[in-house]
Amino acid sequence: MIEREIQWPYRLAAMLLFGVMISFTKDANLVITTTPPVIDSKTMVTYTGSFMNGPYGRVSGSVEIIKQYSSFALSLKNFSSFSSPDLHVYLSKEQLSVHLIDPGSLRMQTGNQAYSNPPNVEAYQYTLIYCKAYNHLFGSALLQSLLKRITCNFTNPLKASLFN
């Protein structure tokens, strides 16, 4: 009798835990995303830009290139795009998709997302959202160096401001 009284709280806790696990797996709209890079004292945003619409779609949001030690990450913030098959994120030397690298397929049409370790990001000036299947540019963002803007603005210490 005493043994049964001790076991029932454990059984109740196990049933509740099982019920919680089942309720999470029933959600078909659950989206798992990658976590943007953690910004700490060794991490800095080196380039940033805002998306503009292209001829074949609409995009909005911003892009940041984040440097941590010797590696880079490309981060899309408050991003939104029209739906299309085979959308990719490109880093390009021009606003056309000619000289480019492909960090990966667009993971979601909306929301924040990050892409790790795109190589040699300093050589590229644009981030493109591009439909690879139809060869259509959906939008682009001109990448501007934050380091150059900060350096230029601190040439006169009496007028030290970040973004004049």
- State pLDDT tens for residues 39-57: 555 788 999 999 999 999 9
Torsion of CA 101, 105, 111, 116, to 10 degrees: -50
Is the pTM for the entire model greater than 0.85? Answer: no
Domain locations in the chain as residue ranges: 43-150
pLDDT band at residue 157 using 50, 70 and 90 as cut-offs: very low
**Which SS3 state, helix, strand or coil, does residue 96 take?**
coil
CATH (one of 3.50.50.60, 3.30.160.270, 1.10.10.60, 2.60.40.200) for 43-150:
2.60.40.200
Which residue, 126, 48, 43, is CA-closest to 90? 126
**pLDDT for position 69:** 82
CB within 8 A of 56, min separation 6: which ones?
A: 131, 134, 136, 137, 138
Give the burial string for 40-49 (b: 16+ CB within 10 Å, else e): eeeeeebbbb
* pLDDT tens, position by position, 103-122: 999 999 999 999 987 878 88
Amino acid sitting at position 61: G
| DSSP letter (8 states) at residue 57 | B
CB within 8 A of 118, min separation 6: which ones?
A: 72, 73, 74, 91, 101, 103
Q: What residue has token string 């700490």?
A: 40
| Rounded mean pLDDT, 46-71 | 93
